[in-house]
Structures are given as C-alpha cells and as structure tokens.
Amino acid sequence: MKKLFKEIPITDIGNIKIGQVENADAGTGVTVIIAPDSAPCGLDIRGGGPASRESGLMDPLAAAEVIHAVVLGGGSAFGLDAAGGVMKYLAENGIGFPVGDVVVPLVCQSDIFDLGYGKNNVYPDKDMGYKAASLAFEGAAGNFKPGNFGAGCGATVGKLLGPDRCTKSGIASYAVALGDLKVGAIVCTNAVGDVYDYLDSKRIAGVLNADGSALNDISCEELMYDMVANPPADFAANTTIGIVFTNAKFNKTQLCKLAGMTHDAYARCIRPVHTSMDGDSIYAISLGLVDASLDVVGTLANQVMCEAIKRSVNV
C-alpha cells in the first residue's frame, strides 16, 4: 500500500514553520507549529483529562475560522504558559488578527504529563514558548527534529507500573504525497499503555520487565485487568498529543471530523487508549487548496499517524 504514495518532509505540506526547545535536564519542552498566513484548524479530544488552551476556538460554532499556531508541550497544565510566549513573538512580528492598534494571534496548546520524568518543578514557560517561536523562523522551515526534542523530551510509554518500568519515547513525524494531495502528522506519544506496530500488531514499546532488559511478558491491558478497582497513581500521568496536516481544502467543521478519523490511529497503535485520565488530543490543519475527499484524506491521515507513532517510540 505504501507504494501508492511517496514519503515527503513534513514541512513540504504547506506554509508552516516548526520550532522546538527543550530542557534536557528537566525533561520537558515544546514544539510550536506556526501558520504565518493563518489556517483553518479542527480538534478532537478523546481522553478525559486534557491539559489544553483555547480549545474552544476549534468548536465549529466558535466565530474564529482560522488560527495562527498550535503548541504541543510538556509540563501538563503548568506548561500552558508557553503559548503566551508564542503569542508575544507572533504579535511582535505582525502575525495575528488586527484589532485596532493591537495584533492578536490565536494560539492553541495541548500538553503531555511529563512531570515525573525529570524535574517536577520545571516546565515550559513563556520564555520557552517565545524562543521556540523564534526558532521556527530560522532557515526555511524551523528546527524540527524527531526524538527526545521539543514536546517529546520527557515522553515515555508503558507507565502502568511506574517510571522505572517505562520505555522512553519522543516526538516524530511522517508525511506522504498522493498525486497533488499531501498529508502528514506529528505526534508526541506519552501513553500509559503499550505501543503496537500497526502493520503486524507486534508490541514494540511499553511496560518493561523488572530488570528493564525487555518488554514485560504480560501486556499493559492484561496488567490492568489484574488491577480492576485499584490502578496505581501513575495511571493518570499520560497523554498522547498530535497534529495532522494536509494541503486539501477543508473548513473547521470538516477538520474536526478529520481529527476524529485520525484518532483511529491511536486506537490501532496504543492499548489502552482514551481512558478517563488521558488527554489524548489531535489537531487537524488545512494548509492548501487541493480538492480531495474528506474520507480519503481521513483514511490516509490515519495511516500516516500510525507510522508517526511507530517512529516516536524508536528513539
């Protein structure tokens, strides 16, 4: 099936710029995706405990039809301050809605819970957001790198038995072209459960055995069933956040549907997923004017998100 399309850089999809900053010592960071000319964007949140900012803008009933940036970050709710720094940088550079003498950028943000990975009292702030936004404008498309960078700096998977039994994960991307149509995804995988290869359903990351030398013999799902009423506290320390890009022309309502279709990739690759204490979220952004079926783009978005998740645990 992959022969039907060719892999392309994530930044080839449209007019986006990506900046990343991380504090490796603290184990946290931010990834900022900027649409300098603004772009329609949708959002679908399936987890029950999201840490997010300006999510209401994605509601099809909200007045705003476009946004200017999406921030994927660490620090849980503490890290939401990073968006203020992104706003400051964009406003200083004239990116946003003019309101009298003021320019107001619309910046959305979703964060993972990484406070248990490094330092619990250090998280993304306004200065980190500002720096990441400025780095997005260095060079042709910014400084995006997969692995333990940006929002992926403190990401782990397989959290059910605590931090000593986790697999390190990170942030990754994957993008393809199918004729004139382009679709891609960026994901920061930070799941309580195991991650499976979508191609053969093989478990590739997650809860480790007692000495950390290999994956645990018992899957995370099976471990959960043994804990029926009393899962450990670390069960709450998880969230997978991502964004899907396309150069297809869609409005905000259609993009919310696209984000929802892309969530099927989470279900294909992460078990368990979308629990009451997850914040699992996917943004979908339109960066072009290509005519394409929403169902076709949604199916392809599912595929590229699966591959991005797979790459995010091979760090």
User: Shortest CA distance to 115 belongs to which of 44, 206, 23, 227?
Assistant: 23
Task: Give the start-to-end residue ranges of the domains of the chain.
Answer: 2-312
Mean pLDDT throughout 279-295? 97
Query: Would you say residue 232 has pLDDT above 70?
Result: no
Q: Which two tokens stand for residue 122?
A: 């250090």
pLDDT, tens digit, for every residue of 125-146?
999 999 999 999 998 778 999 9
* Residue 264 main-chain phi, psi, to 5 deg: -60, -25
How crowded is residue 226: how many other Cβ atoms within 10 Å of its Cβ?
Answer: 8
Local structure of residue 14 (DSSP, 8 states): S
Query: Would you say residue 150 has pLDDT above 60?
Result: yes
Q: Which of 152-156, 159-163, 298-302 has the lowest mean pLDDT?
A: 159-163
Q: Which two tokens stand for residue 301?
A: 């978005």
pLDDT at position 142:
82
Dihedral sign (CA 298, 59, 151, 111): negative
* Fold exhibited by the domain 2-312: L-amino peptidase D-ALA esterase/amidase (3.60.70)
Helices (H), the chain: 82-92, 126-136, 220-226, 252-269, 294-312
pLDDT at position 5:
87
Q: Which two tokens stand for residue 81?
A: 């301050």
Single-letter residue type at 152: G
Q: How many residues does the chain have?
A: 315
pLDDT band per the 50, 70, 90 thresholds, residue 162: confident
Q: Which two tokens stand for residue 305?
A: 């998100």
pLDDT, tens digit, for every residue of 75-101?
999 999 999 999 999 999 999 999 999
pLDDT, tens digit, for every residue of 266-277?
999 999 999 887
